[in-house]
């Protein structure tokens, strides 16, 4: 197999150039998808026969919840790659992904609570899913706090990578145990989504919105990692050249 592509991708300079060319396209696509998905979902889909208009928060809530999980697994895999092959760029990615993931996790919790009040009559239920997202939020906070605690960037990178990998092994165990805990303590509970199939006119805007938020995440991630690359490589010739040319 040809690994040159992999090696080239790990070079901050190459990644900076490549992401710079990618950035406007990702940004425009993300904006388009989010605007179309949210406008369609919030204004033009019919109200739900049971929940009325309150269900519309799913166009924000579902992408946020999905991203909170996806970003954590992506972050942990990236951290493992960086830890094993000692790739600087991988750690930059990890440090950029953690705050994005934590924000989406918080957004999922908050929108979930706002939806829960009119639908379930309560802001918070100790439901298995809610609880495991809450724990995921704590895992994100732990990662961010650990990185802040170290003075040396290299030490912080390896420490965070270990923690992320331990978290990745633990995440399914936590998820499983929390589900078990809930069924053990209180038998039948309110299901987050009764396995009702979704109507096409709601599903398509939802999928558009999900795609939009994934692209938005990619956009924000690229912005952050480009800033991070410039910050960490500020003493290299290519960054000096780049900034010199712009000034």
Residues in contact with another protein by CB under 8 A are 135, 138-139, 141-142, 145-146, 149-150, 152, 154-155, 158-159, 162-163, 165-167, 169-170, 173-174, 176-178, 180-181, 184-185
- 61 vs 147 by CB, closer to another protein: 147
- 80 vs 114 by CB, closer to another protein: 80
d(CA 167, CA 162): 8
Which two three-digit tokens encode residue 80? 């493992």
Nearest distance, CB of residue 56 and another protein, angstroms: 32
Please state the φ and ψ torsions of residue 110, each to the nearest 5 degrees. -70, -45
**Cα 228 from chain centroid (whole Å):** 18
Please state the φ and ψ torsions of residue 19, each to the nearest 5 degrees. -65, -30
Give the distance between the most distant pair of CA atoms in the chain.
66
- 171 vs 220 by CB, closer to another protein: 171
Nearest distance, CB of residue 172 and another protein, angstroms: 10
Q: Please check whether residue 90 is in contact with residue 82, taking contact to mean a CB–CB distance below 8 angstroms.
A: yes
Q: CA 190, 192, 197 angle in degrees (round to 5)?
A: 115
Nearest distance, CB of residue 180 and another protein, angstroms: 7
Nearest distance, CB of residue 151 and another protein, angstroms: 9
Nearest distance, CB of residue 43 and another protein, angstroms: 39
Which residues lie below 8 Å from residue 195, measured CB to CB, with a gap of 6+?
Answer: none
**Cα 38 from chain centroid (whole Å):** 19
- 26 vs 160 by CB, closer to another protein: 160
Residue closest to 109 by CA, chosen among 90, 123, 93: 123
- 141 vs 214 by CB, closer to another protein: 141
In sign, the C-alpha dihedral spanning 144, 149, 153, 159 is: negative
Which two three-digit tokens encode residue 221? 């991630």
Nearest distance, CB of residue 202 and another protein, angstroms: 34
- 33 vs 164 by CB, closer to another protein: 164
- The DSSP letter of residue 43 is I
Nearest distance, CB of residue 137 and another protein, angstroms: 9
């Amino acid at each position: 197999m040809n690994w040159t592509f992999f090696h080239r991708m790990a070079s901050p300079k190459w990644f900076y150039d490549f992401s710079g060319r990618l950035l406007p396209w990702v940004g425009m696509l993300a904006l388009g998808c989010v605007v179309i998905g949210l406008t369609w979902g919030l204004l033009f889909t019919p109200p739900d026969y049971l929940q009325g208009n309150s269900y519309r928060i799913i166009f924000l809530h579902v992408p946020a919840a999905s991203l909170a999980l996806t970003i954590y697994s992506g972050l942990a895999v990236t951290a493992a790659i960086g830890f094993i092959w000692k790739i600087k760029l991988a750690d930059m990615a990890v440090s950029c992904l953690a705050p994005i993931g934590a924000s989406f996790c918080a957004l999922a919790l908050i929108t979930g609570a706002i939806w829960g009040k009119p639908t379930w009559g309560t802001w918070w239920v100790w439901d298995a899913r809610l609880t495991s997202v809450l724990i995921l939020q704590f895992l994100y906070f732990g990662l961010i706090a650990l990185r802040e605690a170290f003075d040396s960037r290299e030490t912080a990178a390896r420490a965070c990578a270990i923690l992320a990998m331990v978290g990745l092994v633990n995440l399914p165990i936590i998820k499983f145990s929390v589900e078990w805990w809930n069924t053990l303590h209180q038998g039948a509970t309110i299901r987050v989504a009764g396995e009702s199939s979704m109507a096409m006119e709601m599903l398509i805007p939802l999928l558009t919105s999900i795609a939009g938020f994934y692209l938005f995440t990619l956009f924000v991630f690229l912005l952050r990692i480009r800033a991070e690359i410039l910050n960490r490589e500020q003493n290299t010739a290519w960054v000096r050249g780049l900034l010199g040319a712009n000034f």
